[in-house]
Structure 1
Amino acid sequence: MSENETPQAKAPYIGQTADVLSHKTGADTGAAMISQKALFQRRGEIALYQDKLVIGDWNDDGDLVLGRDDIKAVRLEFTELYGRFIGGLLNAGKPLILETTHGELYLLINRKELMESTDDKRWAQLIEKWIAG
């Protein structure tokens, strides 16, 4: 990435893998009712560039950098792993789910804790448009 490269979009996120969410306990679910950060322990900034999607500070190795071919599907929905009750009952709380070559990723982008809303719908549209090229 060149220093002059400017992202098309950038925002804070909290996220987690489907694998980790599938192992959550009742205590985890209870804690998530108070704060989503209990389930979504990965945090950083997500940035969409012309040639890549960068999910910053994704793991101990640093950023997760995805190309168009790395993303198999983009979904915006409640699932068994992250349901409407945990997500605040509103459609605005649906997680952005990316099916990638690195696994299924759940993201809450620019989440507003008190309002139980995110910018996930906008980001789903941006990523789908970017994938289409």
Structure 2
Amino acid sequence: MDCRPDAPVRGQYEAVAFADGIVTQVTSNTTVVVSGPNGTVCRYLHLAGDSIKVKRGDGVKAGQTVIGKVSSVMGGNPHGTSIHLHFDCSQVVSIGGAPRRVYIPIYTSMVAAYARALGISVSVTGGKLASGTIYERP
């Protein structure tokens, strides 16, 4: 999923931890990988390298703004893409008796993590995000 801000301002937007986990990889430029206790692996891409606040082995909690800041870095080029966060998560599931790593839908949980980080009341029931906050657009 690519998350782009309304106003693309460099160094302004924090990548928020999606779930509790351990940082398992930090690349030399723009990527942080966090692995959860249930086997979920989440990747945060296009971060500003000098803003990355975590290192391999660090623990993170859902909603913490400890990952780094969103940037336009891609492939080592500081202007390789638009300012945005590429974020995805995967899990290993059994398909036909064989383990397969598959991407999982994360939108509702990601919105809830950002709301918690910003101190906005949020309600998720049965995997569905309740609407109606003053911050939503019609």
Give the TM-score of the pair, scaled to structure 2.
0.27
Higher helix share: 1
Give the TM-score of the pair, scaled to structure 1.
0.28
